[in-house]
Chain A
Amino acid sequence: DTGVSQDPRHKITKRGQNVTFRCDPISEHNRLYWYRQTLGQGPEFLTYFQNEAQLEKSRLLSDRFSAERPKGSFSTLEIQRTEQGDSAMYLCASSLGTSGSREQFFGPGTRLTVL
């Protein structure tokens, strides 16, 4: 399968713990996006990378959130000191090219539950 993959698919953690999610984009895709989605809402943009450079971060991305894409391939999203409000589906998407005008291909998401 050459689509976008995310790991883990589900994560249950206790409040205050740190969690890290991984996204493997489609191999030739330059851009990689992270979104958060809660029930009844559309995906909310968190951040994106153009190759290894992180070009934009949403105001939603508090200091507890950090994302990396060290070699321009896979990316990780870390949440430190998780809070119950962090419970959501975290979606990763990738696209080809250097603008936001291209189709994004989404991974299956990581569902985070913070107890």
Chain B
Amino acid sequence: RKEVEQDPGPFNVPEGATVAFNCTYSNSASQSFFWYRQDCRKEPKLLMSVYSSGNEDGRFTAQLNRASQYISLLIRDSKLSDSATYLCVVNMRGRDDKIIFGKGTRLHILP
């Protein structure tokens, strides 16, 4: 099983719709979780951290399910500008303090 797995998509979603993607991780010792956004030919940028209790930032909601070892990202009222690749990032604290990026989920918002 890969350390961090995401559905690569693409997700083609009409503007205004709600879309959600999940990311699963294999190591139960994982401690910190993030969603990064990457536009085409640009560097990744932090979208939001994911907290144990779940967190919301405007139209974006992130949740963590430790029992099932996945995190999710929900985007409400999607905008054309939300079109991007969404990268799931997991930090496994411990001796190595590893940071693992998923391969990303591509999202296309359709007008």
Q: How large is the interface on B (under 10, 10 to 19, 20 to 34, 35 or more residues)?
A: 20 to 34
**B87 CB within 8 Å of chain A:** yes
**Is there contact, CB below 8 Å, between A103 and B49?**
yes
**B57 CB within 8 Å of chain A:** no
- A52-81 CB mask vs B (1 if < 8 Å, else 0) is 000110000000000000000000000000
Tell me the smallest distance from the CB of B66 to a CB of chain A, in Å: 16
**Is there contact, CB below 8 Å, between B46 and A101?**
no
CA distance A107 to B42 in the complex (A): 9
CA distance A56 to B103 in the complex (A): 21
**Is there contact, CB below 8 Å, between B104 and A101?**
no
Q: Say which residue of A42, A43, A45 sits within 8 Å of B98 (CB atoms).
A: A45
**Is there contact, CB below 8 Å, between A99 and B97?**
yes
Residue numbers in B under 8 Å from A41 (CB-CB): 103-104
Q: Is the interface of A mostly helix, strand, loop or mixed?
A: loop
Tell me the smallest distance from the CB of B79 to a CB of chain A, in Å: 23
With contacts A103-B49, A106-B44 known, is A55 near B97, CB below 8 A? yes
Tell me the smallest distance from the CB of A34 to a CB of chain B, in Å: 12
**Is there contact, CB below 8 Å, between B46 and A103?**
yes
**A33 CB within 8 Å of chain B:** yes
CA distance A41 to B100 in the complex (A): 12
A residues 1-42 in Cβ contact with B at 8 Å: 33, 35, 40-42
**A112 CB within 8 Å of chain B:** no
With most chain B CB atoms within 10 A of its CB, the pick from A35, A44, A106, A107 is A106
**B25 CB within 8 Å of chain A:** no
CA distance A56 to B92 in the complex (A): 13
Q: Say which residue of B34, B98, B100 sits within 8 Å of A103 (CB atoms).
A: B34
